[in-house]
A and B are shown apart, each in its own frame.
Chain A
């Protein structure tokens, strides 16, 4: 598989939903496969809130697998032998695209907490600029899971003529009250870290690692299902030799400690806050007087909406809500509920049914 990683710099300004403007911005992009002559085989995949541009294959430096590596690749559900797959790190992220860790060209200093608030629609608008630059007039498919699924849905609403198909997986047309509540607990743990310094931790040469770690640990609980946790860890005690800390008793504690620690090393706290705020703020109907049917009536592409029955963060009913609005708005849409075992994370994992449905949809 041909993997190309590239930083795109755009000098044209991006007017944000907040009313603020980014005079220029960077997008870190990875592509897989080859674009065909008439540029009709391009697929855009959108990452979930803590994901990045590295969607498939192994990273040349770290060897790390892409977040959707089970779905994207040669002969996989999204087949890179046939399609040219594009994934960009979202604005406000911390993996190369413009975000809180970038330098503000106006001040010469790192943005930090002053990076403007970004919305899902802003991501879509920035990706539209990227597609224009790549001269891709119509994506064969725009797809994503979780927050990436919201972004894919917004693509279909914002630019109905620029995509043929849209895949919305383990997502919702808006965040629920419970989603916002969970995110607020995460943000609070970051804000109350002594090293947060009101978001100015970079100036103090430190980072709110403990808060970020606790936030991520809570996140991981919400990504898994009760059953899957039971199957994966049960009430097994952690082997003494492999304990990440002395306080750990159970395997599940060790797992959360390990995941939280790893995440807090690499992710930026201001990005975490910005991304969760974007997630909380998303409501596909916001520019249609709260009427989702009206918002979706703009859609021209085919929509595939997949929910997973073990997902309690974006439960299957949220995917059905999108389907029902689509049916009222005469959108071509299909809603499938799959028995994902991994809770919300199910959208990341290949299975015969999931792969078959995605692939059939792409080829139909």
Chain B
């Protein structure tokens, strides 16, 4: 995960909060949050090899398929839940978001933007988009539910998720004037802090 993305999430996570990171991968984000914010964190990951990397970092992880649901975490009193670059890989992204906002008041979501101009250009040229954010070819990708920034914000609106903060990044994962001004066309990635009504 890029430094700038980690910094953004870091800013949004309160000190000493109880955090759950869905699709935590090798645990870099959790480790960073523990070191800088003294959080009490848990990761959710399905891949045993990645879990091993988390164990090496001394992290706490539960092996689970997010698509199977996670209602049993609701009694754990998490302050904030995170899903970085994983939402588009789930079978039911909208259900996962609902569940995340049931188990914590706040939720950080990052997602690639299919409306990004290079994706649109690839489609105009008659091929599936391959960009720094969407690096895999159509037959290898784990992504099931790609969407545009507008699509995602409409889902939040329909579902009653409150967008408390949002930051848009260009392919270098920097904030830029264009990406902030017209995110649906110029942002390759959206970073959201959601809450519930």
Q: Is B76 touching A335 in the complex (CB atoms < 8 A)?
A: no
Q: Is A336 touching B59 in the complex (CB atoms < 8 A)?
A: no
Query: Within 8 Å CB of B55, what residues of A?
Result: 304, 334, 357, 360-361, 364
Docked pose: A335 CA to B61 CA in angstroms: 6
Q: Is B56 touching A333 in the complex (CB atoms < 8 A)?
A: no
Q: Decide if B2 is an interface residue (CB 8 Å cutoff).
A: no
Q: Decide if B62 is an interface residue (CB 8 Å cutoff).
A: yes
Q: Decide if A264 is an interface residue (CB 8 Å cutoff).
A: no
Query: Within 8 Å CB of A324, what residues of B?
Result: 72-73, 76
Query: Within 8 Å CB of A333, what residues of B?
Result: 60
Q: Decide if B99 is an interface residue (CB 8 Å cutoff).
A: no
Docked pose: A95 CA to B63 CA in angstroms: 38
Docked pose: A331 CA to B54 CA in angstroms: 16
Q: Decide if B51 is an interface residue (CB 8 Å cutoff).
A: yes
Q: Which A-chain residue is minimally distant from B57 (CB atoms)?
A: A364
Docked pose: A356 CA to B56 CA in angstroms: 10
Q: Is B63 touching A335 in the complex (CB atoms < 8 A)?
A: yes
Q: Decide if A320 is an interface residue (CB 8 Å cutoff).
A: yes
Using an 8 Å CB-CB cutoff, how does the interface string of A322-351 with B read, 1 for contact, 0 for none? 011001101111111110000000000000
CB distance from B154 to the nearest CB of A (A): 33
Q: Is B56 touching A363 in the complex (CB atoms < 8 A)?
A: yes
Q: Interface centre among A328, A334, A337, A361, by most B CB within 10 Å?
A: A334
Q: Is B56 touching A302 in the complex (CB atoms < 8 A)?
A: no
Docked pose: A320 CA to B62 CA in angstroms: 8
Q: Is B56 touching A330 in the complex (CB atoms < 8 A)?
A: no
With contacts A334-B51, A336-B51, A338-B48 taken as known, whether A364 is within 8 angstroms of B56 at the C-beta atoms is: yes
Residues facing A in B51-100 (CB within 8 A) are 51-52, 54-63, 72-73, 75-77
Query: Within 8 Å CB of A327, what residues of B?
Result: 42, 60, 62, 73, 76
Interface size for A (C-beta < 8 A) is 23
Query: Within 8 Å CB of B59, what residues of A?
Result: 334
Docked pose: A330 CA to B77 CA in angstroms: 10
Q: Is A336 touching B48 in the complex (CB atoms < 8 A)?
A: yes
- Pick the contact of B54: A323, A328, A330, A334 (CB < 8 A): A334
Q: Decide if B40 is an interface residue (CB 8 Å cutoff).
A: yes
Q: Which A-chain residue is minimally distant from B48 (CB atoms)?
A: A353
Docked pose: A356 CA to B52 CA in angstroms: 8
Using an 8 Å CB-CB cutoff, how does the interface string of A10-35 with B read, 1 for contact, 0 for none? 00000000000000000000000000
Query: Within 8 Å CB of B48, what residues of A?
Result: 336, 338, 353, 357
Q: Decide if B18 is an interface residue (CB 8 Å cutoff).
A: yes
Additional A-B contact list (18), CB under 8 Å, known A324-B76, A334-B54, A337-B63 = A302-B60, A323-B62, A324-B72, A327-B73, A328-B75, A332-B60, A333-B60, A335-B63, A336-B48, A336-B51, A357-B48, A360-B52, A360-B55, A360-B56, A361-B55, A363-B56, A364-B56, A364-B58
- Chain A to chain B contacts (Cβ below 8 Å), 30 pairs: A302-B60, A304-B55, A320-B62, A323-B62, A324-B73, A324-B76, A327-B60, A327-B62, A327-B73, A327-B76, A328-B75, A330-B18, A330-B40, A332-B58, A332-B60, A333-B60, A334-B55, A334-B61, A334-B62, A335-B61, A335-B62, A335-B63, A336-B48, A336-B63, A338-B48, A353-B48, A356-B52, A360-B56, A361-B55, A364-B55
List of 3 A-B pairs having minimum Cβ-Cβ separation, nearest first: A327-B76, A360-B55, A334-B61
